[in-house]
Structure 1
């Protein structure tokens, strides 16, 4: 059996690493299962892409479509054109897409038009906010997927409401957490740790990249000023996404406790999160990692496709509402943040379950 695995952006790499390892292990056991890794090139900054292959010990891609930047439509079209040629030249039995980036949706569409079955890892998650490009990607991908690998009971319920047969839904857990658990002993201090005089639980981590927070300069400026003011007793480490960096240049946001740093690799960034007092973010994936590491997480969004991180974990949603942000900081700085628990099956074994299900489906 031949599987084509698609990775397009930073969150995908953490998800494919344990799946590839599990396939390799099954192949060593004598199972007829092979994979071909296709990198669409949707993320092409070194710290957003190639560094992850090195750190997570992912084999180099068999193909790189080198799509790079562009509008949503331009990226989608370029990925589809490139992936169609890839499948023509390298036929397979199954295309596996992960997450909810543009590559996920585009490659799923191409596969189905080529009469190839699609497996979606992290299927069924929904925020209910169709202003998010990722929500459109999720909806379209799941509408044509054959095999749905889910991270939570909420995702299962979403799929069942859509009429997906329970026999095609596989509750396997969270592959991103597989990667986190495997690498927890390899996490390393960022190079700036000593220079900024950081110490455990004495600093905050902030990430911002969503259009709702960074595209409107007035909103972005107010957000940063409020967060820096509320967290004035702590250094705030802000790894700046290339997209956000362009917007910050003209805002003149210079504060003693705000430290802009380059995008970090996986091992350094998660060391930073693991030892922080809290994370302020608008990323979905970081809320999952913070929950497993039991780090308070303030999410600058009104909705989440990962409700388990709020209902069970350490995450709360504040949007960009000044009052909610203020209340969250009060709770954090008073030391009364809620204690979280790890969601079901977030145990480091999700990828093994996925590969085992595929073997059973294809009777390898």
Structure 2
């Protein structure tokens, strides 16, 4: 390891570094800057309400979904299973379709299944976070959203084979599933759990308290001086 200091986002990351043989005195758990970045990027209540009205959605009464990873879009069977399950969800689905997903649906002969979901185009980051903060459930194969969901305090179904962010699962925010009936089964369970929003609201993000930037800057300043 060439770095003089290692700013580990989580305790688990620190353990991974120690297992690689990094000197413990060179590892500092700072938290992840995703926490403060998410706080600063989420629009205010007025803009969130405007977006809900634009898309014809009610707060807490819709599912926000995105799929874009090659493991899901390049496999016709997986993509077909995902689109089929989205159509079975108990709440309206706002499907923010990535260009790769749109092209893959056409290439695999799944255009009818794709169009049946009335997908929107891609969303910019602030718009996505605004809608995510108002959704009842998130479904995605995104990596960053697995961190952001712990800040937004929303349940997330991760449609992937594996995840590099196990902390989100351990904390109870994310749930890893493969394409297939488990998507809608789990979605029904999470949406039907009326106490879940309050429970998640009380769970600290495993990625820190929003002061990672300050800790990293202080560490760098102290080292340079």
Same fold, TM-score > 0.5, yes or no:
yes
State TM-score, norm by structure 2. 0.85
Return the index of the structure with the highest Cα Rg.
1
Counterpart position of 1:346: 208
Contact 1:287 1:309 in 2 (8 A): yes
Contact 2:5 2:27 in 1 (8 A): yes
1:323–1:263 CA distance, 2 compared to 1 (3 A): closer
Counterpart position of 2:40: 182
Q: Deviations over 1:71-108 (max 9, x none)?
A: xxxxxxxxxxxxxxxxxxxxxxxxxxxxxxxxxxxxxx
Counterpart position of 2:224: 362
Q: How far 1:336 sits from its partner (Å)?
A: 5.4
Q: Distance in 2 between matches of 1:352 and 1:205?
A: 32
Q: How far 1:243 sits from its partner (Å)?
A: 2.2
Counterpart position of 2:12: 154
Contact 1:208 1:282 in 2 (8 A): yes
Counterpart position of 2:182: 324
Unaligned runs of 5+ in 2: none
Counterpart position of 1:120: none
Contact 2:51 2:131 in 1 (8 A): no
Q: Distance in 2 between matches of 1:181 and 1:302?
A: 29
2:75 aligns with one of 216, 229, 234: 216
Aligned ranges for residues 1-364 of structure 1 at < 5 Å? 144-184=2-42, 186=44, 188-189=47-48, 193-229=52-88, 231=89, 233-249=90-106, 250-252=109-111, 253-254=113-114, 258-320=117-179, 322-335=180-193, 338=196, 339-340=199-200, 341-344=203-206, 346-363=208-225
Root-mean-square deviation (CA), in Å?
A: 2.3
Q: Deviations over 1:132-163 (max 9, x none)?
A: xxxxxxxxxxx554432221111111111010
Asked which structure has the greater RCO (Cα within 8 Å, sep 6+), the reply is 2
1:299–1:345 CA distance, 2 compared to 1 (3 A): closer
1:228–1:183 CA distance, 2 compared to 1 (3 A): same
Unaligned runs of 5+ in 1: 1-142
Q: Distance in 1 between matches of 2:9 and 2:41?
A: 20
Q: How far 1:303 sits from its partner (Å)?
A: 2.1
Moved over 4 A (4+): 143-146
Structure 1 SS opposite 2:119? strand
1:181–1:254 CA distance, 2 compared to 1 (3 A): closer
State TM-score, norm by structure 1. 0.55
Q: Distance in 1 between matches of 2:208 and 2:118?
A: 32
Aligned residues: 217
Contact 2:85 2:181 in 1 (8 A): no
1:228–1:145 CA distance, 2 compared to 1 (3 A): farther
Q: Distance in 2 between matches of 1:208 and 1:337?
A: 27
1:282–1:146 CA distance, 2 compared to 1 (3 A): farther
